[in-house]
Amino acid sequence: MKLIAQGAEAKIYESGSKIVKDRIKKGYRLPEIDKKLRRTRTRAEARLIRMASRAGVPVPKILEVDDKQMKLEIENIEGSKVRDVLTPEMCKLIGKELLKLHKANIVHGDLTTSNMILRGKEVVLIDFGLSQYSEKVEDKAVDIHLFKECLKSKHFDIWLSCWKHFLQSYKSKDILKRLEIVERRGKYKH
């Protein structure tokens, strides 16, 4: 297995046609609390990926959930990170997939172009480590806000065109109206 990424919660390994997400122990937590948290988060991530798949959202297949070792094995998606190949047209696909995700009451929690892979002509959403089930319009608006901020900071030269294309396919008036409120709130926090 080859280590390909490490975050605050997990080490990510590539092993042929699969990706292994290994939730790491936190020495500062009581062992029994640490174990319970890691087990719960591993199960929750797998459950949310399966829910997203049932909703028709392109996501990696779950191959194995080992909640004793706190490991999640998923399909290794062949393709390019969207952050490296983003076009405004691609944002229509992203809007379509995100709308399906939100209709299934799943909030991604880390919706950046680094957590999307272009496989053929579809955008596959990956890394559901911060995802949650939520029926709240506010949570979904915050998800979109994060995506918009990603566009502005990482794709500043084409972000506006990308955003317009995204809005052509993400058609949820309630959530977009809440997004305006979220953004107004953020402007005056200084």
Mean pLDDT (whole number) for 181-190: 74
Question: What is the number of structural domains in the chain?
Answer: 2
As a whole number of angstroms, the distance between CA 190 and CA 175 comes to: 25
Closest to 43 (Cα-Cα) out of 78, 3, 72: 72
Mean pLDDT (whole number) for 142-169: 97
58 with 104, same domain: the answer is: no
Residue where one domain finishes, among candidates 41, 75, 109: 75
Residue where one domain finishes, among candidates 75, 92, 109: 75
86 with 164, same domain: the answer is: yes
Number of Cβ within a 10 Å radius of residue 174: 10
146 with 130, same domain: the answer is: yes
Q: What is the pLDDT of residue 189?
A: 53
54 with 89, same domain: the answer is: no
List, as one string, the DSSP characters of 6-32: E-SSEEEEEETTEEEEEEPP-TTS-HH
- Contact present, 86 and 57 (Cβ < 8 Å): no
Mean pLDDT (whole number) for 126-134: 95
Q: Provide the residue range defining the domain that includes 45.
A: 2-75
Tens-place pLDDT, residues 39-89 = 999 999 999 999 999 999 999 999 999 878 889 999 999 999 999 999 999
List the catalytic residues.
Answer: 110
85 with 173, same domain: the answer is: yes
Q: In what side-by-side order are the strands of the sheet with 116-119?
A: 80-81, 116-119, 122-125
CATH code at position 136:
1.10.510.10
| The model's pTM | 0.91
pLDDT band at 190 (very low <50, low <70, confident <90, very high): very low
100 with 156, same domain: the answer is: yes
136 with 95, same domain: the answer is: yes
Residue where one domain finishes, among candidates 56, 75, 94: 75
In the chain, what is the straight-line distance between the N-terminal and C-terminal CA atoms, in Å? Answer: 45
